[in-house]
Structures are given as C-alpha cells and as structure tokens.
A = this chain, B = another copy of it.
C-alpha cells in the first residue's frame, strides 16, 4: 500500500512541492524556481527531478508513492490537458501525461490551481467535512473552485469555477484582464478593492486616513475599516456586497453547503465574511439563504494539499 503522495503547485515564479502522507499530513515542503524561458519547457523536467531527488533522499520507493497531483495557473481539462497557460508560456498539451512519463509512469493528475486549492481546503482545510462547496480565492485575481460530492468540477473547457469572470456590473468602463468588463475580479480581488477605493478617493472629498498612504493595499483598506475609517468601511462593505451578490448567483447554479473564502484578501478575516454573508443573504434565492461561509485555513499551501488529494480521490 502506497504511503506517500506529492502535491505540486506551479506558480509564475516558484513551484511549491509538498510530500504528504496519504492521510493528509504535510511531511515536508520546499520550493523550486519556475523556469518560464523557452516556452516553459523545463518546468515539468525540474519538477520530476525535484520529486525524484526527494524520493531518493528519503529512501522512498516508487511503489510507496500513490502519485503526484499538480495545480497549474490556467484552464485544465479533467484529463489533465492544459489549455494555454500564459504565465508559464505553455500551449495546449497533456501536462499530466507528460509529467507521468518523466516520473517513469507514476500516476499524475493535473488541475487548475484555484480548483486544486478548493480541493485542498475540502480535504484538510476550512471546508473539511463538507462534501459540496465553492471556494473563492481572493488574490491578485479572483479564482474559484467547485467541489461536488467530494469531486472537483473541472469544466469541459477547464473553466469550471471561473467565478472571477462572472459579470456583475453592466456599467463598468474599465476592462478586466480577460477582455470583458464588469467581472467580479475587478471588484473583489486585492487589485479590485484598491481600484474601487482609489476611484472613490478621487471622486469624493471625504476625509480618510487612506489619503495619507502613498501606495494603498487591500490590507490597508480593511485595517482602516476595522479602525472605523468611514470611507474604508464603505469600501469594505462594497467589497462584501459585490462578492455576496456574485455568490448568490453561484448558489442558484450549484447550491453548495458552504463557501470557503481564501487568498491574501481573506486575511481581513471576520469583517470580510460578515459583509459578504450580509449581502449574500439579501441577494440569494430563498432556498439557499442559509449557506455557510468559512475562511480558508491552508493559506499558500492549499494548492499543494489539493494536488495531493486529487491523486487519492
């Protein structure tokens, strides 16, 4: 019986790798550089090398390893096919099969990184114990991952759970990174809340301690809100309204037990959950109004956990 499993989370600058017990204990973790030159052709080779070295160092035989699961920053089909991954320079190919070959046939699963993070939180994090959940990752962008009956919803085009690009405002004039306007990401991400706060600071002359900060971040907005700054409070509320509104629409589609909120912005904590829940309750279809909200607990390790979990399920 295999005792170990590897979880890999490929980012634009570093690849996080974790060695787990099949029970879900993170035994050790490390990082390697993401070599994006030459169309990212060395990334999988580097991962295979690093995993192999670890196995040798820890005296782990191939038959002791259940497999390797990896999260990729782009759309991935259920069979492991990556459909372009701009940050890595990748085109369309089956990354799971490729890494498996490099690892001498070890089973490999691949998925979108936000979906993998959702699976990680489901397995060992804030969503543990809930079979049906939607995770939202509020970082530079807004990622989403959907777990139904304990399985990840990859989507036919690898766009399952791409809730950051649901349109929630029809009057937005600025363009989202995806080319559309009014996407959730433009309001609920770290850059999103900064964007709407700057807009508010420019359009009004309300006093605010944020006016004295040269480079405003999401953290500073939520911190100022917690300290009672009126303009920051309004912005935190607006953030919760936008997110609560979008999740109310998501609930009409997949009707989950719980929403798990993660990513850097979620460090704001209770204030974010309370605001989001308040507006979700207001906007949601009556049958879904009591859906729970939880904070993610695995932080930046969620993707690795999810990778590991994907091999086990």
Contact = CB atoms under 8 A, between A and B. Distances in A.
Interface of A: 75, 83, 132, 144, 146, 148, 153-163, 165-167, 170, 178-180, 245, 248-257, 283, 285-288, 290-291
Contact of A156 (B144, B179, B245, B257): B257
A286 to B, nearest CB: 6
A150 to B, nearest CB: 13
A14 to B, nearest CB: 25
A254 B254 contact: yes
A240 B248 CA distance: 23
Contact of A255 (B162, B170, B178, B285): B162
B286 A155 contact: no
Copies of this chain, whole number: 2
Given A148-B153, A285-B165, A286-B179, A159 B249 contact: no
Contact of A83 (B144, B163, B287): B287
Contact of A287 (B162, B252, B285, B286): B162
Nearest to A151: B149
Contacts of A178: 285-286
**6 smallest beta-carbon distances between A and B, as pairs:** A155-B255, A159-B287, A159-B255, A165-B285, A157-B287, A253-B253
Contacts of A288: 155, 157, 159, 162
Contacts of A290: 157
A252 B162 contact: yes
A167 B251 contact: no
B158 A287 contact: yes
Contact of A249 (B148, B158, B166, B256): B166
A79 to B, nearest CB: 13
A290 B163 CA distance: 18
Contacts of A162: 252-253, 255, 285, 287-288
B251 A159 contact: yes
Contacts of A144: 253
Contacts of A157: 255, 287-288, 290-291
